[in-house]
Amino acid sequence: MFKSIKILIFCFCFSFSLDGLIFEIPSITDLPPYLRNESLVIVNVHSVLIEPAQMLGSEEWAEYELQNLKENEGMSYKEAMEELVPIWQRILLSSPMKCVEPTTMGMVRYLQKRGYKILGIDSQEVEMAYPTHFQLKALDIDMLRSAPYTGCTVVDLKPYAKYIDGILFIGNRGDFPLAITKFFECLKERPKHVIYIDTDTYRVASVADELNWKGIQTVGLRLTARDGKKSLYNPSVVEIQKRYQGKMLPDREAYWLVNHGFGDGH
C-alpha cells in the first residue's frame, strides 16, 4: 500500500515537472524525452530549423541592426522593424541556407517517421512562404509530410496570418501565442499536448503560458544551440558580405578579407 502511494506521488511530480514549465535543451536531439504519443511539436522555423549560411541575414545580424536603428537613428522598435524587415527579406531571398545544427534534418525525420505532427511558425511575411518552403526542401526538410492541417488557410488575426503546408506565417508584427491559438480553431480537434521550441526565452514562456491557460498541456523548450553566436558576430565581416550580396560570401572568406585590410571602407 505504502509502495503504491510512493509510486503515485512520483508519477504526479514527474508529470507536473514536464507540463507548464520551460526547459533548456542544448540540441534539438534532446527533444525525445519530452514527447508523448499525442504531442504536437511546434518550432520557430528561422530560429530552430534553418538560418543563413553567413552572418549577413542571421538573427544576430537582425538584432545588431535593430539596436543600431533604435540608438543611432532614434527609431522606436516598431519603426526600426518596419525599416529592417524588407531588407532582411531581400537578404533571405538571395542567401544560401543551412540547418541550425547538423542533426536538425535527422531529428525532423525521426519525428516524421514516428507519426508526430510538426507545425512550423515564422515571423516572416506571407510573401516569404514559397522561398521558405523551397529553402527547407533544399535541405531535405519537407514540412508538408508532418503537417497538422492539409492545404492553406487564413488565420483570423490583425494583421492576418496564413498557414501554408505546415508553416504558419504571422509577419513581423504577429503575436506568437495568439496566432497559435487562433490556428488551433481551424483544426477539427485541438491538440492534447504541445511542445514549443524556440531560441527566445520570452517567446517560449509566452506560448507555454497561453496554451496552458487555454487548457492545453504544453512544454516550452528553449534551444541554446545558437547562444554562442552573438559573441562571434562581427560587423566588419557583414560589411564585406554586403558588397558580395549578389553572390553571398561565406564567413571564412569574409574574415580573410577583413584580416587583410579590405574592411572598414577599403
Q: How far apart are alpha carbons 194 and 187 in whole angstroms?
A: 14
Closest by alpha carbon to 180, among 121, 231, 232?
121
Element (H, E) at 97: strand 97-99
pLDDT band (50, 70, 90) for residue 146: very high
pLDDT band (50, 70, 90) for residue 174: confident
AA letter at 4: S
Provide, rounded to the nearest whole percent, the portion of the chain with pLDDT above 90.
Answer: 58
Averaged over 160-179, what is the pLDDT? 91
- Higher pLDDT residue, 254 or 51? 51
3-state secondary structure of 116: coil
pLDDT band (50, 70, 90) for residue 128: confident
Q: How far apart are alpha carbons 40 and 168 in whole angstroms?
A: 14
Residues in the chain: 266
pLDDT tens track for 25-70: 999 999 999 999 999 999 999 999 999 999 999 989 999 999 999 9
3-state secondary structure of 246: coil
- Going from the C-alpha of 203 to that of each of 95, 136, 174, 180, 199, the distances in angstroms are 26, 22, 12, 12, 8
Least confident of 46-55, 120-129, 154-163: 154-163
- Higher pLDDT residue, 152 or 109? 109
What does the pLDDT read at residue 231? Answer: 83
Is 266's pLDDT higher than 70? no
* Domains of the chain as residue ranges with CATH: 20-50+99-223 (3.40.50.1000), 59-95+234-259 (no CATH)
